[in-house]
């Protein structure tokens, strides 16, 4: 079970990275339906594949873009000459997105495939935990599987709602929950704990809470950036267009560094905990640098995946340090 847990953790983290790349490229609506893509198991690679054509067999649910509208086949049929006829088609009304971009489509499709792949070890982990008849693995594996199902369902809502901003934040937090449960399992199978001072453990808890708050604020800043870009604001001018509260997120990094330093520096010479301390310092430095890129260089798109992956990593590290300690 330990090996399966580690594999699941790595794959879910890859999904987080893939999801952040989708956000970076704006490919979230590359597949306008769910779980298929344009009604196909394997998405199209060229625009002519999603344009109506005569003497072509269309299965129910297959999608085409015609008259600047996304249509889906209401039944299996074979098209005939004479032009596009709406008799066997209905407009897809769950959103008004009717564009095709092959790069976006395949970026989103790979993201979905990585999500499906990560579900395999998680399902296996759930089965193995039931067979073990041990309470802690059953609870954590069940919570992990439940979170995966919730994220999948939420992903469908996001697509149906044409990437509603609020649901994207929930999506990110839900994905984090999967990783948190897996960290709990990793620590359970490890079993080792290091005794530390009560005050240091309190600072670890504070670090965990503040890291989570910063992540939530960061997702909201990301939403504001997306809205600014959609409004046609150039990246160098985005900062001036952001709501005033974004300064809380930007300035919060200094508090985050200070609180982490209060436990990480004293633990640098403690066996086993030295690794956690070094990783925390390294992640904070890297995250600060990526934040500077945002502030000084107009929110470059390539920095988005780096920033979100580091944010997730810091929270997961804080939790592992907390679970691996005792007073």
Which of 24-33, 151-160, 241-250 has the weakest average pLDDT?
151-160
Q: Partners of 57 in the beta sheet?
A: 78
The better pLDDT of the pair 236, 198 is held by 198
The CATH number of whichever domain residue 322 belongs to comes to 1.20.120
User: In this predicted structure, what is the pLDDT of residue 259?
Assistant: 96
Distance CA 77, CA 61 (A): 11
Question: Hey, what are 39's tokens?
Answer: 């009604």
pTM metric for this prediction: 0.87
Question: Hey, what are 80's tokens?
Answer: 């005939």
Alpha carbon separation from 106 to 25, 49, 207, 271, 299 (Å, rounded): 11, 14, 38, 45, 24
User: Cα–Cα–Cα angle for 298, 22, 159, nearest 5°?
Assistant: 120
**Long-range Cβ contact pairs of 282-287 (< 8 A, separation 24 or more):** 283/310, 283/313, 283/314, 283/317, 284/253, 284/256, 284/257, 284/260, 284/314, 286/310, 287/253, 287/311, 287/314
Strand order in the sheet with 63-66: 63-66, 69-73, 89-91
The 3-state secondary structure of 150-188 reads HHHHHHHHHHHCCCCHHHHHHHHHHHHHHHHHHHHHHHH
User: Domain residues for 47?
Assistant: 31-100
Q: Which of 100, 135, 161 is the last residue of a domain?
A: 100
Q: Which of 100, 125, 159 is the last residue of a domain?
A: 100
Domain count, the chain: 3
User: In this predicted structure, what is the pLDDT of residue 162?
Assistant: 53
Instruction: Provide φ and ψ at 187, rounded to 5°.
Output: -65, -40
Q: Which of 79, 100, 121 is the last residue of a domain?
A: 100
pLDDT above 70 covers a percentage of the chain that reads: 97
To which residue do tokens 């999500």 refer? 115
* Together in a domain, 13 and 149: yes
What is the rounded average pLDDT of the residues 227-249? Answer: 84
User: In this predicted structure, what is the pLDDT of residue 98?
Assistant: 86
Per-residue pLDDT for 172 more than 60?
yes
The CATH number of whichever domain residue 53 belongs to comes to 2.10.10
Per-residue pLDDT for 55 more than 60?
yes
* Together in a domain, 113 and 178: yes
Distance CA 325, CA 200 (A): 10
Is the separation of the CB atoms in 199 and 325 below 8 Å?
A: no
User: In this predicted structure, what is the pLDDT of residue 284?
Assistant: 94
* Together in a domain, 96 and 202: no
* Together in a domain, 253 and 230: yes
* Together in a domain, 134 and 261: no
Which of 17-26, 122-131, 171-180, 210-219 has the weakest average pLDDT?
17-26
Segment 83-140, tens digit of pLDDT = 888 889 999 988 878 889 999 999 999 999 999 999 999 999 999 999 999 999 999 9
Question: Hey, what are 43's tokens?
Answer: 């998405």
Residue 229: count of CB within 10 angstroms of its CB:
16
37: which DSSP letter?
A: B
* Together in a domain, 135 and 226: no
Distance CA 134, CA 113 (A): 31
* Together in a domain, 283 and 204: yes
Per-residue pLDDT for 165 more than 70?
no
* Together in a domain, 176 and 304: no
Per-residue pLDDT for 183 more than 80?
yes
306: which DSSP letter?
A: H
User: In this predicted structure, what is the pLDDT of residue 163?
Assistant: 55
Distance CA 277, CA 289 (A): 19
pLDDT bracket for residue 244 (50, 70, 90)? confident
* Together in a domain, 315 and 234: yes
User: In this predicted structure, what is the pLDDT of residue 242?
Assistant: 86
Helix, strand, coil fractions of the chain, as percent rounded to 5? 70, 5, 25
What is the rounded average pLDDT of the residues 156-182? Answer: 79
* Together in a domain, 152 and 238: no
Instruction: Provide φ and ψ at 232, rounded to 5°.
Output: 90, 10
Mean model confidence pLDDT for the chain = 90
Q: Which of 197, 327, 193 is nearest to 271 (CA)?
A: 193
Distance CA 123, CA 323 (A): 24
User: In this predicted structure, what is the pLDDT of residue 51?
Assistant: 93
* Together in a domain, 75 and 211: no
* Together in a domain, 287 and 326: yes
């Amino acid at each position: 079970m330990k090996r399966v847990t580690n594999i699941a953790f790595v794959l879910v983290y890859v999904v987080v990275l893939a999801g952040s790349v989708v956000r970076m490229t704006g490919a979230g609506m590359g597949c306008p339906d769910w779980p298929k893509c344009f009604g196909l198991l394997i998405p199209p690679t060229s625009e002519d594949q999603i344009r109506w054509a005569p003497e072509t067999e269309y299965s129910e649910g297959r999608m085409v873009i015609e008259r600047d509208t996304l249509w889906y086949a209401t039944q299996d049929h074979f098209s005939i000459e004479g032009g596009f006829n709406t008799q066997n088609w209905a407009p897809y009304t769950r959103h008004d997105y009717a564009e095709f971009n092959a790069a976006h489509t395949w970026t989103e499709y790979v993201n979905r495939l990585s999500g499906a792949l990560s579900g395999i070890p998680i399902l296996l982990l759930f089965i193995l935990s039931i067979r073990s008849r041990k309470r802690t693995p059953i609870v954590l594996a069940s919570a992990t599987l439940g979170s995966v199902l919730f994220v999948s369902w939420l992903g469908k809502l996001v697509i149906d709602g044409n990437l509603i901003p609020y649901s994207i934040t929930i999506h990110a937090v839900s994905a984090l929950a999967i990783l948190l449960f897996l960290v709990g399992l990793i620590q359970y199978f490890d079993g080792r704990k290091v005794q530390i001072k009560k005050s240091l453990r309190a600072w670890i808890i504070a670090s965990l809470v503040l890291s989570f708050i910063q992540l939530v604020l960061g997702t909201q800043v990301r939403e504001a950036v997306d809205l600014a870009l959609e409004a046609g604001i150039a990246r160098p001018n985005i900062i001036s267009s952001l709501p005033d509260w974004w300064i809380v997120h930007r300035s919060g990094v200094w508090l985050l560094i200070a609180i982490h330093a209060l436990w990480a520096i004293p633990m640098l010479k403690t066996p086993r905990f030295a690794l956690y301390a070094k990783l925390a310092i390294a992640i904070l430095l890297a995250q600060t640098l990526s934040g500077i890129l945002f502030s000084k260089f107009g929110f470059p798109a390539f920095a988005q995946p780096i920033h979100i992956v580091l944010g997730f990593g810091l929270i997961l590290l804080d939790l592992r340090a907390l679970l691996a300690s005792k007073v």
